[in-house]
A = this chain, B = another copy of it.
């Protein structure tokens, strides 16, 4: 009886619609819509009949259809470098929480640090008509987003700035954090300090290098270019670069590692060496305090980066106008031991 009322529509994979519910309850489509959406103007009796039909048929409103009609999709996209990178976990979670507070779902994906893949993913999200985007960019040219932004897709860049367009941005203070880290090493007596950084086309890597140079210059210390190595964070490359600095003609007595992955490899390299070398790493990581010596770091507040970006996004969606904004999140130096090691007496 139930099935017949809906014709053949009970076959596996198909779902009842409001039309089916209306037919079963013996009411109009709009009345079902009213009940489903809790709108007023339905008698208790009618409402109950509709509710019964909903339960009997296992109806669940198709939000895709609703979205098509309403305009807003109540979903936002988050594009980051790698969902598996622990640094982005708290950021991801923070964006999710803000989205949830605004009743939105979160679609996310990894760019794998590939500009083409970033663009493909971002445009796929735009085709799905996400209301907004939070992007940790891999590309350095985002002009491809201009038509989308003009069409109303709110966009906020986090962790790294947008390339060749003006957009809302939330960044950590990479320059200041790096400067503080190197100044800290200098204050502990170091004069030859190595910088192990990420690829120079990445904004944060460039900023951290700038902070390194600024601190060295402020202390009147010359920088031997053999002490600066930027490139992939692949362990082999970092290991090679660190070893070259430590065993070169003018060996460094301290290392500043430009991000968490570099720090991890640096820790491994230093653990194998007979004499201690000072180390400060950009980015905090779990158990940094349990390694011996405990690792001094410049900590970023990844959750706050995400929260700030998502909040900015929803503010735009709520109608806040005005020119693109840039917010900077401070970093914090956490001394734990490795950054307070003195240079060797004979250096």
Q: Is the CB of B125 within 8 A of A105?
A: yes
A287 cross-chain contacts in B, Cβ below 8 A: 264, 267, 285-287, 291
Decide yes or no whether A90 CB sits under 8 A from chain B.
Answer: yes
Q: Does chain B have a CB within 8 A of A345?
A: no
B83 pairs with A92, CB closer than 8 A: yes
A62 touches B127 (CB 8 A): yes
Tell me how far the C-beta of A92 lies from the nearest C-beta in chain B, rounded to whole angstroms: 4
Query: Cβ of A271 < 8 Å from any Cβ of B?
Result: yes
Residue A327 is within 8 A (CB to CB) of chain B in the complex = no
Complex CA distance for A267 and B292, rounded to whole angstroms: 13
Closest Cβ neighbor of A117 among chain B residues: B100
Copies in the complex: 2
A115-131 Cβ-contact flags toward B at 8 Å (1 or 0): 00000000111111100
Knowing A64-B67, A290-B268, the reply to whether A83 touches B105 (Cβ < 8 A) is no
Q: How far is the CA of A60 from the CA of B123 in the complex (A)?
A: 9
Stretch at the interface among A9-17, A191-199, A239-247, A248-256: A9-17
Interface contact A90-B100, CB-CB below 8 Å: no
Give the number of residues in A that approach B within 8 Å (Cβ atoms): 55
| The one of B60, B62, B85, B290 that contacts A148, using a Cβ cutoff of 8 Å | B60
Question: What string of 1s and 0s marks CB contacts (under 8 Å) between A86-124 and chain B?
Answer: 100110110010001000011111100000000000011
Q: Does A331 belong to the interface (CB within 8 Å)? A: no
Nearest to A71 among chain B residues (CB) is B13
Q: Bound complex: CA of A127 vs CA of B65, how far in Å? A: 10
Residues of B within 8 A of A264 (CB): 286-287
Distance (whole angstroms) from the CB of A316 to the closest CB of chain B:
11
Beyond A60-B151, A84-B93, 16 extra complex contacts between A and B, CB < 8 Å: A13-B151, A14-B152, A58-B150, A58-B151, A60-B123, A60-B126, A62-B129, A64-B68, A64-B128, A83-B89, A84-B303, A105-B107, A105-B109, A264-B287, A287-B291, A290-B291
Q: Could you list 18 examples of A-B contacts with CB < 8 Å?
A: A13-B151, A15-B151, A58-B147, A64-B128, A64-B129, A68-B68, A83-B89, A84-B89, A84-B92, A85-B89, A86-B89, A96-B108, A105-B125, A106-B108, A106-B109, A285-B286, A291-B292, A292-B292
